[in-house]
Amino acid sequence: MDGSPHQSDPLRRARLRWRARRGLLENDLIFERFFSRYEHDLSDADVGALTRLLELSDNDLMDLLLSRKEPEGDLADPDTQRVLELLRTA
């Protein structure tokens, strides 16, 4: 995705996919499409960005995914913004 080394640990990717299961169906659907398309191409930087996004509440995450808000603070880094853009278009 970004030219970084591929995240090759299938267990780490599986844990991330499990953690992406959310309370809001809309979030689940977005993450399901994202993982179907990009799971095997994720880099370590992508996994780190996804992990930071998944620390948000369902509603805050939904606002970012639907472009109601833009990332701020620690989430305003290039890796997170790139992954967020992929999530928005998945």
Task: Output phi, psi for 24, to 5 deg.
Answer: -100, 125
Inter-residue contact 75 to 52 (CB < 8 Å): yes
Ordered domains of the chain (ranges, CATH): 10-89 (1.10.150.250)
Query: Per-residue pLDDT for the chain (90 aa), expressed as one digit of tens each?
Result: 544 455 566 777 667 666 666 666 788 889 899 989 998 888 889 989 999 999 999 999 999 999 999 999 989 999 999 999 999 998
Name the region of 67 (left: φ>0; alpha: ψ -120 to 50; beta: rest).
Answer: left
pLDDT at 21: 67
